[in-house]
Every structure is written in C-alpha cells, then in structure tokens.
Amino acid sequence: MIEFINVEKTYANKVRALQNVNFKVEQGEFVAIIGLSGAGKSTLIRCINRMHDITSGELIVDHIDVSSLRGKAVRQYRRRIGMVFQSFNLVTRSSVLKNVLVSLVPDLPVWRKISGIFSREHKLLALKALDQVGILDKAYVRVDQLSGGQQQRVALARTLAQNPDIILADEPIASLDPITSKQVMDDFKHINETMNITVLLNIHHVEIALEYADRIIGVRAGEIVFDGKATLVDDEVLQHIYGSKMEEALQTEEGALLHVR
C-alpha cells in the first residue's frame, strides 16, 4: 500500500530530514512512528500526502508514484488520504456538522460551496462519520463549545467522511490530557479495525504508541533505526531510538518516568 524506497528529503535550507528510508506498510496496518523531536517523523508523514516533496528515491502509494503527480491528480490523490493534526484545524465558530461537511466540499458545485447548502446525502454521510466517533449528539453544537478531545474527534470524523484508505496523524494527542488521549486513540483503533483503514501516526507518548500500534517505526536523525512489532520494543530498542536522551523523551508531562516494558 505505502512503500518508501531509498527516500531522502532535504529541505531548501539544506537540512537533511530523511535519508535511506525504506519500509512498506500494508493496507489495514496500525503504525506508530516514534523518535525525538526533530528526528524527521513529521516530514515522513507529510511526504506521504505530498505536503512535502521527496528529494530522491521513490514513494509508491497504492501503485502510484507520488512524486509524479501534478495539479488535479495531486488533489484527487489527497482525497484518499485523511490527515489529522495536533491542532485539529477546525473552524471553531462553525457547527460540528459544518466542519465535517467541509471535507465533502471538493465534490460540490461552486454555488453550493458559496451558499453553504449541503445535500441530504452529504449530511447523512457527515452524520454517519460523527456517529462513528461517538459524537453524533454534538452535530449542531459550535466547535468552540467542545473539549479538546471532542474537537479531535470532529477532526477524525471530517477525515472519515472523506472515506479515506489511509489516515495520517501528526501528533494527534499532543495537546490532550491522558484520559482524552486514550479516548481518541480508541477511536483510531476502532476505525482501523472495523474499517480496515491504514493508520500511520506520529506520537511522542511511547507508552501509548506501544499500547495501541501493532507496529513501531523508530526514527533517529532522519533514518529508520527500528521497524518491528510493538511487542518487540524493549529498553534496548528505546535506547537505540532515543540515545542518551531516552529518559528525557520518556518523561511524561507530570514528570513521572513512564514504565517501559
């Protein structure tokens, strides 16, 4: 489904964010990408939906050479990939339902986009997506009246309404408290298991990554230094990924050192 072949990404400022990146993800996998801040996790995720272009190598997604896409083809390609951000990226003064309907806008004629009139079919799709993440009752509430966790669920519903094959998430729980984080991760897991949608997420909470993901990809200074089952991640692997900063990396916001299997 997703294949990186010798991928390198060097930014215009000459920072080499990725090098020698090789891995393959099959449809339906749940993968967490871990590593220190600045390791290249975000770059890796963002190359997949062409928010960034790779510098060399090949990136193949569902038989498509992602670098070769131009113009309209990029937009069509992106529609198949849902993206969830740490900051939710919602229009907070609009209703939950409208925020989800926006993901369907590219399919609407221009007069509909302007008038904000959405079809019954689209409304049903949006409501179904809200139901899938357990916030159907919030459909007509303004987003700024929701908690952070609920807002992230709206973002997830907006992505789901797009009917994606892949969901990419860039630190989706970084600004949430531990309990809400788990609820959001439960949503990801549920979507992954019941809809067979591939989930790839960056996360700096190691313990949560190990609890939810089937597979862990460890990135260090732009290179993949571990790729394997979450059950195989032990202290030695974490040391390899985080190096001398391991203790710092595993420190929770409350200051307690996380228990590592």
Binding site for ligand ADP (CB under 6 A): 11, 13, 15, 17, 35, 37-43, 202
Q: What is the 3-state secondary structure (H, E, C) of 8-23?
A: EEECCCCCEEEEEEEE
Sign of the CA dihedral with 113 first, then 114, 116, and 117 last: negative
Query: Is residue 224 within 8 Å of 234, Cβ to Cβ?
Result: no
List of residues 6+ apart from 3 with CB closer than 8 A: 23, 24, 25, 58, 59, 60, 61
CA–CA distance, 239 with 5 (Å, rounded to integer): 26
Q: Are 21 and 2 in contact (CB under 8 A)?
A: no
